[in-house]
Amino acid sequence: MSVSMSLVQGGAAGGAPQGASAILAAAAPYYQPPAVPQDVQPDRPIGYGAFGVVWAVTDPRDGRRVALKKLPNVFQSLVSSKRVFRELKMLCFFKHENVLSALDILQPPHLDFFQEIYVITELLQSDLHKIIVSPQHLSADHIKVFLYQILRGLKYLHSARILHRDIKPGNLLVNSNCVLKICDFGLARVEEPDQAKHMTQEVVTQYYRAPEILMGARHYSSAVDVWSVGCIFGELLGRRILFQAQNPVQQLELITELLGTPTMEDMRHACEGARTHMLRRAPKPPSFSVLYTLSSHATHEAVHLLCQMLVFDPDKRISVTDALAHPYLDEGRLRYHSCMCKCCFTTSAGMRQYTADFEPSAGQPFDDLWERKLTSVQQVKEEMHKFIAEQLQTGRVPLCINPQSAAFKSFASSTVAHPSELPTVASSMGMTAK
């Protein structure tokens, strides 16, 4: 199957050669960069996650464009420093084509001056939010291959017992070949098996927030991510946000307009107040048929899968593994493994050799026991300093920030986005909600 699925313009607007003004420099005094064609694009901001600023920069070791994420104000409190450490450990743990991982971490200064952390990841030119709001044509094949990759990445995360908790189009990066990677693990955490343990409500950008969280459930599972994927699937089909409400109460109203009023059984995870509120409202019938009006791509098969993701009761919602087995995803899988993946290859005779496992799980769960042993900011700081030093890959010249760089001055001071730099109102919602 040969396809050209390009949606994203490769590269960014060119600029003047920057030379010494580049943010990244080799941390070896006599290091001579190899004679590779150096990229002349200037370093520039490209995005703002829940807890960090991301820049597109050039790696001086090979001239490659990479993403540099700054995690600012790391050591303000025990909670914030542990959250950053968790994100950092996750980025180093991930090994999956559809999950963004760390390529490098900049070597920190002496412990006494250690305030910020800089992580280098692969650079992807766009994200699903930018694509959905753009005028670019989205074919049924695009939707299938995007949904397939979201679920493929999520299966890996869930198999490592990680809940992402902020799956939204802006956190799904896309490159010029339509390869998709889940990013921003600022809110991710390990699944809590103990039902009695309370979990924070302040997760997931409101539009993609599962009904059990909106109804104050104290404990929730990986099903919250599946709900978010269902919302994104609907948004890909309709090219507009599926449940776009002003506040959490209205958000729940919009959901029940589609799904109908939930039964008491469906609401057993909800808090008492939210259940009472729901029962006081006039009962609404479900109206799933409106999903067929989203677009011509909303076929019976598509709506059948979508309805299994948008289920009120998280225990009855389809799992990622079961969703991947749905016939709607067969074509996305075939397309992905025919010409987009790195796990299969074509022989010199032109035969495609497919991998034995199309949707691999993580080899082991992500361990978070270390978190419980950390009881002070200073302790986290020392452990993180040690962890970063251990990540230094042998044989690679370490990188550091070039303090002479003009772009760095602007980067160093950017902890929050300037309004004019934000992509759109919708995608920035996630930053204020937390």
> Is residue 357 flagged as an active site residue?
no
Count residues binding Zn ion (CB under 5 A).
Answer: 5
Q: Which two tokens stand for residue 2?
A: 């040969």
343 touches Zn ion (CB under 5 A): yes
341 touches Zn ion (CB under 5 A): yes
Which region among 134-142, 232-240, 246-254, 338-346 touches Zn ion (by CB under 5 A)?
338-346
Which region among 184-192, 196-204, 220-228, 342-350 touches Zn ion (by CB under 5 A)?
342-350
147 touches Zn ion (CB under 5 A): no
Phi/psi region, residue 306 (left: phi>0; alpha: psi -120 to 50; beta: rest), is alpha
Site string for Zn ion, 288-327 (x = CB under 5 A): ----------------------------------------
385 touches Zn ion (CB under 5 A): no
- From the list 39, 43, 166, 266, the catalytic residue is 166
- Please say which residue, 338 or 379, places its beta carbon nearer to Zn ion: 338
* CA separation for the pair 58, 67 (Å, rounded): 8
Quick check: 206 and 168 in contact, CB under 8 A?
A: no
The residue written with tokens 């004019």 in the block is: 420
Q: Which two tokens stand for residue 67?
A: 């993403």
* Least distance to Zn ion, CB of residue 5, Å: 15
Which H/E stretch holds residue 309? Answer: helix 300-309
Q: How many CB atoms lie within 10 A of CB 106?
A: 19
* Least distance to Zn ion, CB of residue 343, Å: 4
Q: What angle do CA 343, 349, 353 make, to 5 degrees?
A: 25
When binding is defined by CB under 5 A, the residue of 78, 140, 271, 344 that contacts Zn ion is 344
* DSSP letters spanning 307-353: HHHS-SSTTTSPPHHHHHTSGGGHHHHHHHHHHT-SSSEE-TTS-EE
Q: Which phi and psi angles does 327 have, rounded to 5°?
A: -60, -25
- Please say which residue, 57 or 179, places its beta carbon nearer to Zn ion: 179
- Please say which residue, 360 or 423, places its beta carbon nearer to Zn ion: 360
Is 409 marked as a binding-site residue? no
> What distance lies between CA 177 and its chain's CA centroid?
18
337 touches Zn ion (CB under 5 A): yes
Which H/E stretch holds residue 181? Answer: strand 180-182
Catalytic residue annotation? 166
Annotated binding site for ATP: 69
Positions that interact with Zn ion (CB under 5 A): 337, 341, 343-344, 355
